[in-house]
Structure 1
């Protein structure tokens, strides 16, 4: 289940989203060459990725931030940036540019800390912007629960694009992360499910004051949970194709021509 777009136009240019995507892509390009040297790559992860046991020991706290700009491959990077592209612009529109940047960083830090709490003895490096972006998704759910989202549904060999409410798509995603967290061992590596679920929760909590200022449940009743942006209006004008004048028919067929009848 992959989101393709949301039907929720933004009223501002999401400069922070653009910068975050560019920063993640640039970071990936800069260390991509290390993939050919496993020892150098592991040293890179030891320096910039979250290692919960080290955080608990009071070391490398800066990795809570640096890890959010590191990805394990193109699919990892592309998936995260797609989610940020779809859901980030509307929160940046609602919050403002700098507050949204602070919100994004706070979600990333919170997700990293929750991952550390879930696996305090783990020596496995953890990377990715998923926790921060999960926070964006949590905030989006609180403000726009009924925004329409186009998702690509994959069932073995069948592919179909369907449109669902954001509450269904994001709620199902959160449930999958929670079930994944209970069904996995963080000490063994793999997907950092609790970082995802934790980041989502942090995003909900941080957006809660904004939601309350808008009126809380009254805001939902007024907007029916849908984006407050007006529907796009399309204007058009009819283009008239010029018509060529018809040739007049000779109605007097009895009149002889110059060569006779």
Structure 2
């Protein structure tokens, strides 16, 4: 078993504290604790159920579901990716623009999944779609940056630098080739359609959100 875990941008360390990225991680963590505390009833009330939404009910869950997760591995993995890519995109956009971009990307991603399977009664949840939007924006904004990445295979691992275009491009290719459920759990999960929808949103809209005057080049 192997994989790639992005740890951060080695070419462009953040020049400002990423307050919104940090708050998003805190909010996701708090929501996950609520899930652990209140169980299935909490998940059912606040996660996005496509069948329920297309019939005009619980539209707020399109937003709330993007702060929920199906398991410890699900939230840990998502928050690692958010921390790796979100800080630089927040620096490039500014906190307010980034917050709007992140939330809009998450809503677009959830909507893509709902439209892809509108009669599903399985709860859909996770920050993956919004994070995919961040990754799409990163690809457009910093394609040549080198990402410090943990590469592992069974018990062997090493940290290496991988170009953002290669790492994120490979990630997106996997989403396209594996259209299906991201995580399988009793409560359902976020679908690859949400990843694709969020990513495309980020790629298409990044240039409208990024403030070039905020970008600091620090090649290392």
The alpha-carbon deviation at position 153 of structure 1 amounts to 2.0
Is 2:7 aligned against 1:19? no
Between 147-156 and 87-96, report the one with greater CA deviation. Answer: 147-156
Is 2:28 aligned against 1:29? no
Q: Which of residues 100, 107, 113 in structure 1 aligns to 2:98?
A: 100
User: C-alpha distance in 2, partners of 1:190/1:69?
Assistant: 12
Relative distance call for 1:191 and 1:21 in structure 2 (3 A) is closer
TM-score (norm. length: structure 2): 0.88
Q: Which of residues 163, 169, 182 in structure 2 aligns to 1:165?
A: 163
Residue 162 of structure 1 aligns to a residue in which SS?
A: strand
Relative distance call for 1:162 and 1:231 in structure 2 (3 A) is closer
Q: Which of residues 213, 217, 229 in structure 1 aligns to 2:217?
A: 229
Residue 122 of structure 2 aligns to a residue in which SS?
A: coil
Is 2:8 aligned against 1:5? yes
Query: How many residue pairs are counted as aligned between the two chains?
Result: 210
Residues 37-83 of structure 1: CA deviation (Å, up to 9, x unaligned): xxxx3322221111111111111111111001111122111111111
The alpha-carbon deviation at position 160 of structure 1 amounts to 2.7
In structure 1, stretches of 5+ residues that fail to align are 35-40, 215-226, 233-261
Is 2:192 aligned against 1:204? no
Residue 205 of structure 1 aligns to a residue in which SS?
A: helix
* Pairs within 5 Å for 1:47-58: 47-58=45-56
TM-score (norm. length: structure 1): 0.75
Give the conservation status (yes or no) of the 8 Å contact 2:149–2:160: yes
The alpha-carbon deviation at position 228 of structure 1 amounts to 4.6
Between 149-158 and 60-69, report the one with greater CA deviation. Answer: 149-158
Larger RCO: Structure 1 or Structure 2 (Cα < 8 Å, ≥ 6 residues apart)? 2
The alpha-carbon deviation at position 231 of structure 1 amounts to 4.1
Q: Which of residues 171, 176, 179 in structure 1 aligns to 2:177?
A: 179
Q: Specify the structure having the higher radius of gyration (Cα).
A: 1
User: C-alpha distance in 2, partners of 1:230/1:162?
Assistant: 18
Residues 159-191 of structure 1: CA deviation (Å, up to 9, x unaligned): 23221100010000001011111xx379x9555
User: C-alpha distance in 2, partners of 1:99/1:190?
Assistant: 28
